[in-house]
Each structure stands twice: as structure tokens, then as C-alpha cells.
Amino acid sequence: MAENEKQNGFMKLALYVVGAIATGYVFYKLWFLRAPTRKIPHDDNLFVSPANGKIIGIRKFNEASFIEAKNEPLTERGAFKLLASDVAGSGTIISIMLQVTDVHYQRACTSGIVLNTKHTAGNKDNAVMMPNEQISRYENEHNEILIQTDKGLKYKIVQIAGFVARQIDCYVRPQQLISQGQVLGIIKFGSQVTVILPESVTVVAKEGDYLIDGESVIGRIQ
């Protein structure tokens, strides 16, 4: 009797484990990897969001320094200057937080040509920002996609890994022509996406806004 109860307990545990794995697999395939159809504006005077998530920071940068809107210096200004230097001498950096439930594909803000991609190995620290922390996990593993628009403006999308995000996939290559809203890659699980825009793009999005990839307008050409 005791042996049967032991076997039954083992079978229940095994079924629970198999069920949990199956549920996780279904969630991953059908929910996490989903790619909903988006209403792309197809207007290259507009810059659409490269990611689905919440804006956690909007910061200005220039050649002299990288500063917050309230003129408080950030510890990561050197790193951001490095990230932004091949985009423009001045502009705006927007950091977008992706939760596990958000769509994790990244899209082109406008049509153009990919000038360069650059993958940098790094940490896999928690990408969730706490109050008074820096606005981006620039020290984490990340991939930069530098794009030039049909009007000659440059902008950059940075895919940033987090504690849960263990893989960054980039689907484009240098000299590849891309269209507005085209899927550029994916970060697997919760993470961050940073977009760097030149000064000639007027940012219309606000901190705290929840963005839809390929649909939400974050900026427009002046």
C-alpha cells in the first residue's frame, strides 16, 4: 500500500513537471514570440516606436555633455556619448522598458539603410530601473543598429539584454534597405530598447508613455 502511494506521488509529480514545461513552451511560442499586425503609418516624416513597452527616460545629449532635463549630471554620460557619437552631435535618447508580457520584436522607426550593427558583450544585470538609477543598462550586453533615413538623418536602435533576457537576435545587416515598421530583431524576455534620435527630430512622446511597436509616434522631423 505504501509502495503504491509512493508510486502515485511520483506520477503526480512527474505529470505536474510535464504540465509546467508544456505550459511554459506554449506561452513562449504562442504569447512571448507573438508578432501582432501593426498599423504602420508609412510616413517617413514620423518616427515610430521601435519597441513595445513603457518609456522610462527621455534625455538630451550634446557634444559637451549628457544631461537630464533637470540639468542633473548622469554617471553614464560618457557611455551615452560613445553610443550617440555616430548619430549626431546633439539629440535625444529615449529608453523603453519591455516587460515579459510585451511584444519583444524591434522595428525600424523609419525607412532607410542600415549603416552598421555592433554587438557588445557585457553584464546581464536586472534591466528594471529603480528610482534615481541611471536610465539605461548600458553596461549590459547590447546590440546597436545604426540607420540612415532616406532624408540623410541618422538614428540608432540599441537592443539591451537584462537579467532574464539571455539572447539578442539581430535580423539585419549593413547596407540592407529597410522600411518603416520592419522587424529588425528580437530580445528574448524582459529587457530594454534605447533609441537615439538627432536634434532635427522633435520628440513628441513623454516619459511614462506606453508604446506600441511600429504604431506609436515618438518623434517627427522638424
Q: Decide if 48 contacts 215 (C-beta within 8 A).
A: yes
* Residue that the C-alpha cell 532624408 belongs to: 151
Handedness of CA 71, 46, 197, 105 (dihedral sign): positive
State which amino acid sits at residue 87.
V
Cell of 141: 550586453
State which amino acid sits at residue 82.
L
Q: Decide if 142 contacts 159 (C-beta within 8 A).
A: yes
Active site residue 49: no
Rounded Cα gap, residues 84 and 79, in angstroms: 9
The residue annotated as part of the active site, out of 111, 191, 200, 216, is: 191
Integer distance in angstroms from the first to the last C-alpha of the chain? 80
* Residue that the C-alpha cell 502511494 belongs to: 5
Half-sphere exposure of 216 (CA within 13 A, CB side): 19
**Any idea what the Cα angle at residue 85 is, between residues 137 and 149, rounded to 5°?**
100
Which residues touch 36 (CB under 8 Å, ≥6 apart)? 103
* Residues taking part in catalysis: 191
